């Protein structure tokens, strides 16, 4: 009986109404009044809270106000993030190319085989015998005119990639020329011992140390990504990181290293795609 009485009392309190009125202080004249209950108070409070949360959320998501919230990304931060990703991708590509350079030089210094990109060109695998090409007289004349006009442009492009001002590192006769099939990636210049060896062009010394196969070796990095290598020296006159000018003495010729048969200089030229024939670029 007590429990039932208590339950009825709670229900009565929950449904009990209250009157909220606004009256004048002097005359007690009622100006405004509203009936309230616990249920109405809860609904009104919930509605106001929900409305405030909804308006705040809309302002944050659809107005620039969100950029002032700490930790929320802005358009400037997104643009900067994209730029950083592009820079990172560029740095990764440069790092990969540098690693390929280092591997190629290590293989060259150690006398190992180098995979030349020229020799594995896919153009050699194309068979043109089955192609049918119909060329009329007008096309032939136009092609000839374009070839004549662009001939010097091609020369300028080649000169831009490889400097035309390379000099001979020393005066002597070539005993063995460039031969890729024999893995002889340079030319051998017969010289007397301790003949001054000169840099073929301006550049920065990448390597200047003793190697087992090639004795004292100097490797110089030139502009336009050209590399020159000087092997079998008696001694070196530069160190790694030095800047050398065209014609500057970098070593003295000798007969050092296991892969030598007499006093001479072994000169190599490299670019991004592999070894180059020095006789095509230098007048000895």
Residue 160: the pLDDT is 47
pLDDT category at 122 given cuts 50, 70, 90 is very low
Bigger pLDDT: 96 vs 134: 96
Contact present, 205 and 241 (Cβ < 8 Å): yes
Query: What is the rounded average pLDDT for all residues in the chain?
Result: 78
Domains and CATH numbers, the chain: 2-62 (no CATH), 173-280 (2.70.70.10)
- The mean pLDDT value for 117-127 works out to 48
Q: What are the two backbone dihedrals, phi and then psi, of residue 149, each rounded to the nearest 5 degrees?
A: -70, -35
How is residue 63 written in tokens?
């107005």
Taking the model in full, what pTM does it have? Answer: 0.47
Mean pLDDT confidence for 167-179: 93
> What are the beta bridge partners of residue 267?
187, 230
β-pairing, 203-211 vs 215-222, is: antiparallel
Euclidean distance between CA atoms 168 and 278, whole angstroms: 9
283 versus 13: which is more confidently predicted?
Answer: 283
For residue 261, pLDDT beyond 70:
yes
Torsion of CA 211, 213, 215, 221, to 10 degrees: -60
| Helix ranges restricted to H, the chain | 2-15, 38-62, 75-109, 137-161
pLDDT number for residue 186: 95
- Show the tokens assigned to 107: 């293989």
Q: Which residue has the higher pLDDT, 255 or 149?
A: 255
Three-class DSSP category at 159:
helix
pLDDT above 70 (res 144): no
pLDDT tens figures, 60-69: 777 777 666 6
State the Cα–Cα distance between residues 9 and 7, nearest whole angstrom.
Answer: 5
3-class secondary structure, 274 = strand
Cβ(217)–Cβ(231) below 8 Å? yes
Each residue's pLDDT tens digit, 208-228: 999 999 999 999 999 888 999
- Whether 250 and 220 have beta carbons less than 8 Å apart is answered as yes
Residue pair 188/176 in contact by the 8 Å Cβ criterion = yes
Q: DSSP string of 40-58?
A: HHHHHHHHHHHHHHHHHHH
d(CA 54, CA 44): 15
């Amino acid at each position: 009986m007590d429990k039932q009485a208590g339950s009825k009392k709670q229900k009565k309190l929950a449904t009990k109404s209250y009157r909220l009125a606004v009256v004048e202080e002097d005359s007690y004249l009622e100006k405004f009044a509203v009936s309230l209950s616990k249920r109405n108070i809860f609904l009104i409070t919930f509605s106001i809270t929900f409305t405030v949360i909804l308006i705040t959320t809309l302002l944050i998501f659809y107005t620039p106000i969100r950029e002032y919230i700490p930790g929320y990304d802005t358009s400037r931060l997104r643009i900067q993030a994209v730029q950083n990703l592009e820079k990172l991708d560029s740095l990764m590509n440069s790092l990969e190319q540098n690693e390929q350079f280092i591997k190629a030089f290590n293989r060259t210094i150690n006398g190992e085989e180098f995979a030349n990109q020229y020799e594995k060109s896919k153009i050699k695998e194309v068979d043109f015998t089955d192609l049918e090409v119909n060329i009329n007289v007008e096309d032939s004349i136009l092609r000839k005119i374009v070839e004549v006009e662009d001939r010097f442009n091609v020369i300028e492009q080649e000169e831009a990639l490889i400097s035309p001002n390379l000099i001979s590192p020393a005066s002597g006769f070539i005993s063995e020329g460039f031969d890729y099939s024999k893995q002889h990636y340079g030319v051998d210049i017969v010289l007397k011992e301790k003949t001054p060896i000169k840099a073929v062009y301006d550049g920065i010394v990448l390597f200047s140390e003793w190697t087992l196969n090639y004795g004292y070796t100097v490797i110089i990095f030139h502009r336009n990504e050209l590399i020159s290598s000087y092997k079998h020296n008696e001694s070196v006159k530069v160190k790694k990181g030095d800047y050398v000018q065209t014609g500057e003495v970098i070593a003295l010729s000798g007969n050092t290293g296991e892969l030598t048969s007499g006093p001479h200089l072994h000169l190599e030229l490299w670019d991004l795609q592999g070894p180059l024939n020095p006789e095509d670029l230098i007048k000895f």
